[in-house]
């Protein structure tokens, strides 16, 4: 028996064996599982809620305080870049560690070309800003390569407010966090939390939120605005050698842009039912 025969089955192996029953399939049952008190509505009792997409910032420190040259920013950036290189170099490495694509994966077009992947485990643990256990990894579709992380201010899956600061100095506190208050963003987060509860066996339907938890991007590539900017660096700043897929596929990253149709079958179940 060789070493490959002796290893424990990976998540990717489980997905293959499940034949399409793992991944985001559970999200299709989210709305049906909600009771009357948790039924999503565009406004409800949320004073800042909007029908369309909308976002708020924790404060204005991303423009007035946070600096790419600050030692704490550089330290965080280097830790993120190192973790992406060592732990998450491919799409397959995300799949093997339990990450699932978020809803922008289905709507991303060539104009943006990137999406969020979230970890139910790391969103649900007691860490917040930990590049070794990131709540989300940001994936570039052109190169099939992770290009940043998104940290989510939750402990045990519950929002933390206020979120932690990256650093504090004479100029103030750097807290470049944002939250989504528009109905599409809140619905997407709620659906993810329903899925995470099903995956962990919690059996509790989360309350529909007035806003998502606070979220913070950290980009591994240079950004003309900020390492913490909400949007990805422009395509020319993330023009890197395509990564190996990290899972079995006939697609060629040198020629094919990454998309939902190229994922292992277990991740495509339920896509037609997502918001």
pLDDT digits (tens), the chain, 275 positions? 333 334 343 333 333 333 232 334 333 333 333 344 455 666 568 888 999 999 999 999 999 999 999 999 999 999 999 999 999 999 999 999 999 998 888 776 655 789 999 999 999 999 999 999 999 999 999 999 999 999 999 999 999 999 999 999 999 999 999 999 999 999 999 989 988 888 777 667 788 999 999 999 999 999 999 999 999 999 889 878 999 999 988 899 999 999 888 887 656 544 443 44
Cis peptide before 195 (omega within 30 of 0): no
Contact 105, 115 (CB under 8 A): yes
Domain count, the chain: 1
* In a domain? residue 194: yes
| Cα distance between residue 119 and residue 129, in whole Å | 14
* In a domain? residue 179: yes
Can you list the positions of beta strands (E) in 47-142?
55-57, 100-101, 114-118, 136-140
* In a domain? residue 237: yes
pLDDT number for residue 110: 53
| Cα distance between residue 201 and residue 262, in whole Å | 29
Contact 184, 53 (CB under 8 A): yes
* In a domain? residue 4: no
* In a domain? residue 101: yes
CA angle 164, 165, 170 (to 5 degrees): 150
Show the tokens assigned to 171. 């100029």
* In a domain? residue 3: no
pLDDT number for residue 38: 56
Q: N- to C-terminal Cα distance for the chain?
A: 46
pLDDT number for residue 177: 98
pLDDT number for residue 172: 97
Identify the domain containing residue 33 by its residue range.
10-273
* In a domain? residue 1: no
pLDDT number for residue 41: 61
* In a domain? residue 30: yes
pLDDT number for residue 212: 97
Whole-Å CA distances, 33 to 23, 182, 191, 198, 212: 18, 22, 11, 11, 20
Global pTM reads 0.83
pLDDT number for residue 195: 86
């Amino acid at each position: 028996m060789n070493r490959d025969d002796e290893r424990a089955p990976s998540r990717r192996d489980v997905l293959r064996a499940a034949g399409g029953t793992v991944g985001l399939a559970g999200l299709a049952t989210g709305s049906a599982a909600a009771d009357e008190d948790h039924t999503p509505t565009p406004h409800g009792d949320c004073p800042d809620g909007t029908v369309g997409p909308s976002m708020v910032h924790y404060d204005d420190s991303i423009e007035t305080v946070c600096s790419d040259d600050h030692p704490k920013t550089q330290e965080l950036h280097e830790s993120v870049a190192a973790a992406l290189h060592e732990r998450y170099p491919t799409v397959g490495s995300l799949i093997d560690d339990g990450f699932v694509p978020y809803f922008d994966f289905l709507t991303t077009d060539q104009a943006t070309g990137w999406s969020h992947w979230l970890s139910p485990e790391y969103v649900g643990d007691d860490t917040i800003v930990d590049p070794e256990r990131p709540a989300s990894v940001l994936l570039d579709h052109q190169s099939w390569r992770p290009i940043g992380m998104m940290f989510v201010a939750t402990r045990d899956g519950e929002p933390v407010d206020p979120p932690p600061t990256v650093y504090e100095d004479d100029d103030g506190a750097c807290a470049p966090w944002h939250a989504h208050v528009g109905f599409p963003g809140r619905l997407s987060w709620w659906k993810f939390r329903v899925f995470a509860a099903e995956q962990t066996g919690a059996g509790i339907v989360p309350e529909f939120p007035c806003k998502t938890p606070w979220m913070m991007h950290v980009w591994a590539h240079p950004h003309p605005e900020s390492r913490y900017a909400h949007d990805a660096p422009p395509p020319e700043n993330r023009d890197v050698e395509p990564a190996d897929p990290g899972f079995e596929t006939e697609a060629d990253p040198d020629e094919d842009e990454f998309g939902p149709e190229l994922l292992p079958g277990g991740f495509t179940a339920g896509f037609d039912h997502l918001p």
